[in-house]
Amino acid sequence: MEVQWILVCHGLVTLLVLVSFLCGQWPIFDGTPIQRINHFLTFGAYDYFQRFVGFVFGARGTNAIASAEYFCCDRPNPILQIMYFAIVGGTYYLVATSSFRYIPGYYISEIHRYASLFAVGVGVLLFLLASFSDPGTVKADNVSLYLSAYPHDNIIYSEKDCSTCKIPKPARSKHCSICDRCVARFDHHCGWMNNCIGERNTRYFIAFLLWHTLLCIYGTVAIGLILAGQVKEFKVIDILTVYYGIDNSFRGLTPHVVQWLLGAYNTQILLMVFLAIVSLLLGGFFGYHAKLCLTNTTTNETFKWQDYISWQRKLNEARASSAALKASINGTDSERKPPESKWRAIFRRSPLKEVDVVVKNNMYNKGFFQNSLEVIVPLSTRQLASRTKSKSG
């Protein structure tokens, strides 16, 4: 019984930490323990650790932490890539050693021994493609290709040179400070891939997210079928209903079946919960990036549009406020009007509410089909193919 309570507490704590880490900054959690846990996880713990090291080891310790932080966060490094292989390899090893002995089972066939290995292999292949393929590096010899593929919209992108690379900067590109290169259609720098996600490897990154989401769902369902087969094989429901007189209903049987599973198959239960949680996280991340692809927007552009819309809104509010102040001054200088009713003054529309709504005008959004095609077959690839064809012709 102690093991079961430990597993339940472990699951609740894991859920609390995940929700706090991922959602703690949402406005709905302002002033709640979830927001405080989020602050501790994202800032407080590291700050306290720095203070502790500085107190014990002095300046030498804090300099060592700064060097480690620079290596891990500001320069390309394979740490998260190694962690990916450790997580995938360790999870597959635990699943194989704890669950493959029950395959084939009552609800699962022997083919899943090999299908699971194939699925993991495809996931690793997509990871390698996203990690080591060129994201679309902009150089002096190919900058004209990207300049013609992505015109400037003169809203969030305007003609200018990269101050680091000293070459014209194509629209939608960004100089990555970690990789120290300009990347076409820059989305973000992914630490897990140790690579930028740009024009030429976004397709591999999206495929990686989708496949790993499905892989985790597959693992969750497969382990669930194994456990259901064990319940059937050992006639657990028959024993509970016939020998122990438990009511033959979902509500009556569920606590006892779960108790039996936690006692006999706690490793499989932990793996199933872990895979289910990871599938939810990856699924949400995939959904976010799929939406970006379907609207032909990047993560980098999302922040640019937020800054632009916020700046335009403030500018319009300042203009409206200035116009209202000028009208008020002109009103006092003109003939004195009868005093306005208090009720009318209360319900009078504020000049700031009449500010024009700032609309996001994304010229790169060409519709569902074209946007999807642009991710699958990048524009620069098509431009290069057409140039090669015209030269050969």
Q: Does residue 104 have a cis peptide bond before it, meaning omega lies within 30 degrees of 0?
A: yes
Q: How far is CA 139 from the centre of its chain?
A: 29
Instruction: Using alpha carbons, select from 186, 151, 131 the residue that is nearest to residue 302.
Output: 186
Give CA angle at 229 (223, 234), nearest 5°. 130
Give CA angle at 282 (27, 286), nearest 5°. 85
Residue/partner pairs of 83-87 with CB below 8 Å, 24 or more apart: 83/192, 84/127, 84/192, 85/124
For residues 284, 290, 294, 300, the Cα torsion angle rounded to the nearest 10 degrees is 90
Cβ atoms 179, 137 nearer than 8 A: no
How is residue 300 written in tokens? 């980098």
Q: Which of 190, 196, 216, 293 is catalytic?
A: 190
Q: How far is CA 165 from the centre of its chain?
A: 29
How far is Cα 184 from Cα 174, in angstroms, rounded to an integer?
7
Instruction: Using alpha carbons, select from 226, 238, 236 the residue that is nearest to residue 260.
Output: 236
Q: Which residue has the tokens 């713990």?
A: 45
Q: Report the 10 Å Cβ neighbour count for 370.
A: 11
Which amino acid does the sequence have at 276?
A
Which amino acid does the sequence have at 121?
G
For residues 150, 155, 159, 160, the Cα torsion angle rounded to the nearest 10 degrees is -120
Cβ atoms 175, 165 nearer than 8 A: yes
Query: What are the C-alpha distances in Å from 182 to residues 168, 199, 205, 366?
Result: 10, 11, 19, 25
Cβ-based burial of 269 (10 A; exposed 0-12, middle 13-18, buried ≥19): buried
User: Is 190 one of the catalytic residues?
Assistant: yes
Q: Report the 10 Å Cβ neighbour count for 298.
A: 22
Report the catalytic residues. 190
